Structure 1
């Protein structure tokens, strides 16, 4: 017999919602920390402090791995619970149409910060073959962790939304269709 609360919500639904929220809250903390480490990396690069830059890049690698773990944790429940509970909670009337994690400010800052660091590394140090060996090795590990994270985040998304139709993509498609039909 399945446990329920006084509100008669099955515990399996409660656990899925809790896991989803906790995983995303931890992911947010990881993003904030990544942004801090990106700034530290930029500062170390400016100062040409290779040991500090290497340490910052290694911390970013660990944070990318942590972000992958938090996303896997957040999504470790059956697809039916996502379809019945989680996805509807990210739609009107609970949230504005077109909600997406892509709208997360810290995530946007992290992506921009990483691109800025990448370009500054190339400008300051030239081709990777010219970089100090420890920095180059740390950078390679970081790129590997980043690729692994992206791959696994995509797998989590694909698990829940087979056709890849995110709420944001659906919103823009519907908006475009509405405009095309002259209904706006």
Structure 2
């Protein structure tokens, strides 16, 4: 299971740069159908099976495999390696679209095989977040989420596969939020209110969907996490305990949050309510993350990034991070 993603520092900085980039014929044909949800789930999956994992000619960035990387870059490489993520630096818009569609395919395959305990509202929001990302890349309306019947699969669920499948959807969504916030800030700085409103609305939709992606990734019994998934993310199987803060997409997202401290307090008119909706979506995503963590006994076990004798339990660490992030967005 592989996912080829753009290094987030190469994300377009504004809408004009994003939509001036080329897309492959496959994306140009399938993208509008995905954005409009014009296909049945079976038809969509059959069409997605034809999408290559990366556009023709895109080369993998091999720098992450080099010796002597700085500590932060080493942690990024460990995180990507565990989840089967490879990075590239070119074909920006093409690669963004392919990454989203490949993640969508992985999720639909997994759900068709094994089903999901997400309800129709959650499944509809999750699918909408992916479809909205494709729409935003192509300059199409992002529409509204709607409840969608969940797939019913009869195969036995593999917790390792579900964990990785869910993250292969979660990661492109996080990158899409970074993209939306970058386009929002560029539009605000240029005085383009309509473009800023579109970008922040998009980031809000995708932020909401990311919480459902976490629920999908953790859609298995708690004893499978403690007995199989969690040990695989810690020594001796990995050099260090794995954490979401080791993701370079998450790292850039937090930088975007800090940059918003200068912008959010100045928003007026329709952008004021749009800001509050985004902050509420961030809060909802942290709440979902805490629920997932609590499901896996996070109120009693320490984070993988902490020493085993730490008094800070995993849910408590998330609560501290949530307060910090929300205070940043609220400029408190």
Q: Does the 8 A contact of 1:97 with 1:171 survive in 2?
A: no
How many residue pairs are counted as aligned between the two chains?
Answer: 156
* Deviation readout 1:135-162 (Å, 9 max, x if unpaired): 1111111111111111111111111123
CA–CA distance in structure 2, aligned partners of residues 65 and 165 of structure 1: 26
Unaligned runs of 5+ in 1: 1-10, 174-184
Q: Does the 8 A contact of 1:157 with 1:164 survive in 2?
A: no
- What pairs up with 1:1-184 in 2 under 5 angstroms? 12=156, 15-122=158-265, 125=266, 131-132=268-269, 134-160=270-296, 161-170=298-307, 173=310
TM-score by length of 2: 0.44
CA–CA distance in structure 1, aligned partners of residues 308 and 195 of structure 2: 44
CA–CA distance in structure 2, aligned partners of residues 55 and 164 of structure 1: 41
Q: Larger Rg: 1 or 2?
A: 1
More helix by share: 1
Q: Does the 8 A contact of 2:235 with 2:241 survive in 1?
A: no
1:164 Cα shift? 4.5
TM-score by length of 1: 0.78
1:163 Cα shift? 1.5
| Residue of structure 2 in register with 1:5 after alignment | none
Q: Does the 8 A contact of 1:38 with 1:113 survive in 2?
A: yes
- Larger RCO, structures 1/2 (Cα 8 Å, 6+ apart): 1
CA–CA distance in structure 2, aligned partners of residues 51 and 69 of structure 1: 28
CA–CA distance in structure 2, aligned partners of residues 171 and 97 of structure 1: 12
RMSD, aligned CA: 1.9
CA–CA distance in structure 2, aligned partners of residues 21 and 143 of structure 1: 27
1:26 Cα shift? 1.1
| Residue of structure 1 in register with 2:71 after alignment | none
Q: Does the 8 A contact of 1:68 with 1:149 survive in 2?
A: yes
* Deviation readout 1:89-141 (Å, 9 max, x if unpaired): 1012221123211211111210220221232233xx2xx5xx12x11111111
Unaligned runs of 5+ in 2: 1-154, 311-332
Q: Residues 136, 73 of structure 1: CA spacing in aligned structure 2 closer, same or farther, 3 A cutoff?
A: same
